[in-house]
Amino acid sequence: MSKKTLRSRLTLSFLLGAITVLGFAPFYFFPVPVFTLALLCHFWRVSATPMRSALLGFTFGMGLFSAGVTWIYVSLHDFGAMPMPAAVIALFFLCGYLALFPALTGWILTRLHIVTPAVWSLTAGALWGLSDWLRSVLFTGFPWLTLGYSQAPAGPLGGFAPVMGVYGVSLMLVLSAALICLLFERRFREWRYLLPLLAIWIIGFGLQQIRWTEPQGEPVTVSLLQGNISQDLKWREDQLVTSMDTYARLTLESSSRLIITPEISVPLYRDEVPSSYLAQMATHAKRNNGDILLGMVEAPGGRSEYYNTMFSFGTSPAQSYRKYHLVPFGEFIPLKPIFGWVIDVLKIPLSDFSRGGLDQRPMNLAGQRVAVNICYEDVFGEEIIKQLPQATLLANVSNDAWFGRSIGPRQHLQISQMRAMETGRYMLRATNTGVTAIINERGIVLQEAEIFTTTALHGMAQGYTGATPYVRLGNSLLFVLAGVLLVMGSLPIFRGGHKNL
């Protein structure tokens, strides 16, 4: 391959990665990633060396993340007060780190020297599925734009979500892309590659028709409050009364049994909030024969440690949930002796939270058992299922004002849709500026509030019982399937053969 050809392919790989973003919210063009990955697979198959495959994967990843996580710049610069050059550099290095995972996939795939096309396609799917999972656990994880999310809620491949989770969907997506690549390479003369491709999509569609969980009891009335407090005003003392009055008014106007506010809707420590304010909230919830979830900062041992916590008030006994999975550099500083200086650069209030326990149980609220997760936590499906199958509802409380008017809030909504599909549960999203929504057990948005408006979304939520395979087994099926495929790709008996097989 000439240097000119390599440069052209690297440029095209970058563009393919950027185009792949169209498969995710707010665009929802779920077939797009399948075809962009098919072209990347073709480049990998004709690549002469593992290093060139790694470069192709890296440029694809740079295109994907540079186009898809631009909201991070908004968080760092617009609201974190990081100087523009520093924010651009930080975003560049983050995208570079994330792009290492498709680069590693390409490198290993070529390094294995798999000749048999069918085995090559199986291995490609396994490697990408595992790399998406690996990205979710290294350095506390950043699984944003995991390929599988692009199939929520309408893509037939989304049918695999209740079985293997989002990373299993990624595996099936890349496997489909690799099979399409083989079909194009043989100019559709060898139809045997079409049969497994059709089988994957037909099985995915069939899985979508299965009712993995079943309704429990009568639907409950819910109100999801959206205060629309601008991020640059949220922590200002002169705006505190306005913020508290906004949520008090929205609460008192609701007649729902379950009222949910966003995370830290009251930007105070729990012990600083006037008791009369909390009593007013609790009295109203009791009048509705229900409960309200209110977000505040909890500092049980003074100010030496503090938690991002949701508190319940109303007819049920008082309960709370502390956020477990914190955002690096936003809610805690990793390796503080090395990165402690970041606190001085970023103007983020309370940027060193303590971590809640992973073993917290669902809250008993308004006759339902609600699995609460706070903001970024719903990106980690394997942590959400730790409160299941006991939970009958899921609730995500967020402050996506940090994303501004970017595509970030819509991408976050799609992530919540995937959690609903994996668990077979309704997901209730109460956010500060949007997207506040009611999502059913199939990942379909039933109602949503207009973003950047002060409003309450009133509706009904049906509790569900039972367990999907993913709830019971987590990522185990992904590891088993990927392991089998990788063994096949590693053994000479499968790797060998003729190139035309």
Whether the Cβ atoms of residue 311 and residue 294 lie closer than 8 Å to each other:
yes
* DSSP E strand stretches across 261-402: 291-298, 307-314, 320-322, 363-365, 368-374, 393-398
- The H or E element containing residue 316 is none
Q: Which domains does the chain have, with CATH numbers?
A: 3-211+474-495 (no CATH), 215-467 (3.60.110.10)
Please say if the pLDDT value at position 500 is more than 50. no
- The C-alpha atoms of residue 327 and residue 333 are separated, in whole angstroms, by 9
Point out the catalytic residue in the list 41, 181, 298, 323: 323
What would the two tokens of residue 67 be? 């186009």
Predicted local confidence at residue 116, as pLDDT: 86
Point out the catalytic residue in the list 41, 95, 181, 375: 375
Over range 42-59, report the average pLDDT: 95
Predicted local confidence at residue 390, as pLDDT: 97
User: What contacts 81, CB < 8 A, 6 or more positions away?
Assistant: 346, 347
Give 40: exposed, middle or buried? Use CB within 10 Å, 0-12, 13-18, 19+.
buried
pLDDT confidence band for 497 (50 / 70 / 90)? very low
Max mean pLDDT range (11-25, 316-330, 394-408): 11-25
What would the two tokens of residue 69 be? 């996580």
DSSP-assigned beta bridge partners for residue 130? none
Point out the catalytic residue in the list 95, 181, 234, 263: 263
Give 76: exposed, middle or buried? Use CB within 10 Å, 0-12, 13-18, 19+.
buried
Q: Which residue has the tokens 């991020």?
A: 231
- The C-alpha atoms of residue 170 and residue 99 are separated, in whole angstroms, by 16
pLDDT confidence band for 13 (50 / 70 / 90)? very high
263 annotated active-site: yes
What would the two tokens of residue 455 be? 């409003």
Task: Give the per-residue SS3 of 67-126.
Answer: HHCCHHHHHHHHHCCCCHHHHHHHHHHHHHHHHHHHHHHHHHHHHCCCCCHHHHHHHHHH
Predicted local confidence at residue 337, as pLDDT: 52
Whether the Cβ atoms of residue 496 and residue 115 lie closer than 8 Å to each other:
yes
Over range 38-53, report the average pLDDT: 95
Closest-CA residue to 378 (of 329, 330, 327): 327
- The C-alpha atoms of residue 372 and residue 396 are separated, in whole angstroms, by 6
Amino acid letter, residue 484: V
3-state helix vs strand vs coil in the chain, percent to 5? 55, 15, 35
Please say if the pLDDT value at position 1 is more than 70. no
pTM: 0.94
DSSP 9-20: HHHHHHHHHHHH
Predicted local confidence at residue 338, as pLDDT: 58
Predicted local confidence at residue 87, as pLDDT: 87
Over range 388-395, report the average pLDDT: 98
Over range 270-290, report the average pLDDT: 96
Please say if the pLDDT value at position 232 is more than 80. no
Over range 94-116, report the average pLDDT: 94
Number of residues in the chain? 501
